[in-house]
Amino acid sequence: MAKKQFQAESKRLLEMMINSIYTQKEIFLRELISNASDAIDKMYYKALTDESIRFEKDDYYIKVETNKDARTLTLIDTGIGMTKDELESHLGTIAKSGSLAFKKETELKDGHDIIGQFGVGFYSAFMVADRVTVISKALGSDEAYKWESDGEDGYTIEPAEKETFGTKIILTIKENTEDESFDEYLEEYRIKAIIKKYSDFIRYPIKMDITERTPKEDSENEWDEFTEEKTVNSMVPIWRKNKSELTNEDYENFYKEKHYGFDTPLKHIHLSVDGAVRYNSILYIPESMPYDYYTKEYEKGLELYSNGVLIMNKCSDLLPDYFSFVKGMVDSEDLSLNISREILQHDRQLKMIAKNIKSKIKSQLQSLLKEEREKYEQFYNSFGRQLKYGVYSDFGSNKELLQDLLMFYSSKEKKLVTLDEYVSRMPEDQPYIYYASGESHDRIEKLPQIEVVTDKGYEILYFTDDVDEFAIKMLTNYQEKEFKSVSSGDLGISEDEQEQAEAKAEDNKELFDKMQTILAGKVKNVKVSKRLKTHPVCLSTEGEVSIEMEKILKAMPD
Ligand code: ADP
Ligand code: MG
């Protein structure tokens, strides 16, 4: 039978898997079980929404078997199965599911990183197996097929026998090498422990034949053995569990299992709401930015479950854009299973949930800011820009919600400060909240205009992000203090010098006129400035648009 080759990308990934030095090889089981669970989800959903499919809850399970003699580890699921075409397209190529949208060739070089960062899915089986056999029968099909590969040079597909719908995956476990043991993946207790660790909350039973050994009566060396099929996982979805029963590690494992991100989340939020609308939700604030976060490709949204059944992978209506970095899921009994995307958009329950979630995220971010400043700054460095966009894009209507979450670099503190901190430090005579825009802190510190302000002992906020000044313009003020750019015409400082300046202007009229003629078309006006100390000259704007903003506006496509 002719062997088919893997697609180039898949091939590289496979090589990486095979030669992986990744320490946590055990996660392959999490990946395979999560695929099995996804497949049963699909089956379950079909059964619930299609009356022609018989529905027995007991029919849905995952079975894991070890066989030391044959060196195999087998996973059987009663999910939706795969057709011949699906075996080919889903296992012969890297799934498009975003798990492996590699950006750069170089990122592939260091396998260590990739596996840590990406959900590698099915292929992770090759970290522990030198052959993988998949026998599957798709729902509604009469034929079963066998897909087989030793990873290195392609795969084969041929007809096979299988009675029931679903998928059976047989891993032929690698032989021990000098520095690595693979035998552990044939040990029942070890497999059981891995399932407990990563897949405890999977909603379907994960069954194993567990052998119990008890010492024979009147003998120390002989044992009674009996084997019984047992469900290894607790099956209670993590979001239905009591917060007090769960550890940080449980939440982190769930985050990883679900591929919400490839980092370790900074914070989780577990909500069990039992009010006008009932729902459970687990939300995460990621630690670092997904590689595609500030691109068009990034899709925000939360997983949406109706009473434990997944109905949507990324429900975007649950999150406002400014919180688009939040990951997680929502499960509500009050949503209908057959709900479509269009209906969902107008669903009252969903709107209430979204509103509720929004305010919870806000208050959690605020407490992070208060209690774990360092973590908050880490968060802010990744996602602060999104909050500022939020202030800017909703014409200030998010002002109340977001203004206390903003931070800017301070001339005084030499670190990020909140607006509240700034205002509470303001000397009584300081009329405005001052800011300076520029490409970098360095550049800003060289601005001639800042001297007058810092000399007065006033603090300046440094705006280095394009969006900063736009966002501030939307806020207009904070705690009734207006924002003022150090490059704007009137700084509200040295009022008494006004007259003097005017006199000087009069005295030097000729010089200024001359300068203006020379610089015609480049500047609008040449005047005496009362905003300079040691520097002889500076550029400034009239009106509300600063030089920095002008630059950005000019660079924007029409
Ligand atoms: P992902 O789960 O992120 O899509 P995987 O590499 O884990 O990526 O799996 C690739 C695809 O193979 C899945 O999306 C699914 O369509 C299919 N698949 C894998 N395992 C099973 C299974 N046990 N039953 C049905 N389909 C499966
Ligand atoms: Mg998967």
Reported as a single tens digit per residue, the pLDDT across 305-328 is 887 777 788 899 999 999 999 999
DSSP string, 316-365: GGGS-GGGTT-EEEEEETTS-TT--HHHHHH-HHHHHHHHHHHHHHHHHH
Q: Which ligand 1 atom is the nearest neighbour of the CA of 166?
A: 24
Answer yes or no: is pLDDT of 468 > 90: yes
What kind and span of H or E run contains 486? none
Per-residue confidence at 223, pLDDT binned at 50, 70, 90?
Answer: confident
Contacts of 202 (CB under 8 A, 6+ apart): 33, 34, 37, 62, 233, 235
Ligand nearest to the CA of 10: 1
Q: Which of 107-121, 445-459, 543-557 has the highest mean pLDDT?
A: 445-459
| From 46, 87, 90, mutation site for ligand 1 pocket: most ligand atoms within 8 A of C-beta | 90
Answer yes or no: is pLDDT of 13 > 80: no
Contact 413, 437 (CB under 8 A): no
Rg of the chain on CA atoms, in Å: 31
Whether the CB of 121 sits within 6 Å of ligand 1: yes
Q: What is the pLDDT of residues 236-287, one digit of tens each?
A: 889 999 999 999 999 999 998 888 888 899 999 999 998 888 999 999 999 9
Residue 121 assigned as binding residue: yes
Ligand nearest to the CA of 83: 1
| From 32, 33, 35, mutation site for ligand 1 pocket: most ligand atoms within 8 A of C-beta | 35
Answer yes or no: is pLDDT of 119 > 60: no
Answer yes or no: is pLDDT of 208 > 80: yes
370 Cα to the center of ligand 2, angstroms = 38
Q: At what angle do helices 373-393 and 466-475 cross, to 10 degrees?
A: 70
Q: What is the pLDDT of residues 358-411, one digit of tens each?
A: 999 999 999 999 999 999 999 999 999 999 999 988 765 778 889 999 999 999
In angstroms, what CA-CA distances link 217 with 210, 211, 212, 227, 244? 21, 18, 15, 19, 42
Per-residue confidence at 357, pLDDT binned at 50, 70, 90?
Answer: very high
Answer yes or no: is pLDDT of 95 > 60: no
Contact 464, 438 (CB under 8 A): yes
Mean pLDDT across the chain: 85
Ligand nearest to the CA of 136: 1
Res 133: pLDDT:
98
Residue 120 assigned as binding residue: yes
292 Cα to the center of ligand 1, angstroms = 23
Q: How far apart are CA 389 and CA 380, in angstroms?
A: 13
Residue 341 assigned as binding residue: yes
Res 100: pLDDT:
46
Whether the CB of 82 sits within 6 Å of ligand 1: yes
Whether the CB of 231 sits within 6 Å of ligand 1: no
Contact 133, 169 (CB under 8 A): yes
Ligand nearest to the CA of 124: 1
Per-residue confidence at 531, pLDDT binned at 50, 70, 90?
Answer: low
Q: What is the pLDDT of residues 328-353, one digit of tens each?
A: 999 998 877 666 666 776 788 899 99
Whether the CB of 78 sits within 6 Å of ligand 1: no
Per-residue confidence at 296, pLDDT binned at 50, 70, 90?
Answer: confident
Q: What is the mean pLDDT of residues 58-69?
A: 95
Whether the CB of 97 sits within 6 Å of ligand 1: yes
Contacts of 545 (CB under 8 A, 6+ apart): 553
Per-residue confidence at 480, pLDDT binned at 50, 70, 90?
Answer: very high
Residue 126 assigned as binding residue: no
Per-residue confidence at 302, pLDDT binned at 50, 70, 90?
Answer: very high
Res 112: pLDDT:
43
Q: What is the mean pLDDT of residues 463-492?
A: 88
Res 21: pLDDT:
58
**Between 337 and 127, the higher pLDDT residue:** 127
Beta strands 72-77 and 62-67 are antiparallel
Structure tokens at 439: 């490409």
